[in-house]
Amino acid sequence: MERGAQRQIESLPRPDLVKEAAEIIDDLAYEPVPSGAIEMHGYNNMYRLRFGSDAYRIVYRVDTRNRRIIVRAVGPRATVYRGMKG
């Protein structure tokens, strides 16, 4: 997980959102592209997942070569994509 993403999780406004985000991210280890994950256009192997009544997003990359998940951003739908680069 990128350092910024960890800070974003910790700064979510409610403990239930922090818990939900952490559980989703933990589950990605077992199923990297779960039902509901949407591949982001214009990015290689980058996906987004909704949580928190669809108001929040987890943006992550699947690195198949090294078999890992890289969480890029976690936050409100309106702002999570700002400054996002491939």
- Look at residue 83 and tell me if it is in a domain: no
pLDDT band at 86 (very low <50, low <70, confident <90, very high): low
Q: Residue 43 gets which letter from DSSP?
A: S
At 80, the amino acid letter reads V
3-state secondary structure of 24: helix
* Alpha carbons 31 and 34: distance in angstroms, whole number: 6
What's the structural domain count of the chain? Answer: 1
30-46, pLDDT tens digit by residue? 999 999 999 999 999 99
53-81, pLDDT tens digit by residue? 999 999 999 999 999 999 999 999 999 99
Q: Residue 48 gets which letter from DSSP?
A: E
Q: What CATH number is given to the structural domain containing 58?
A: 3.30.2310.20
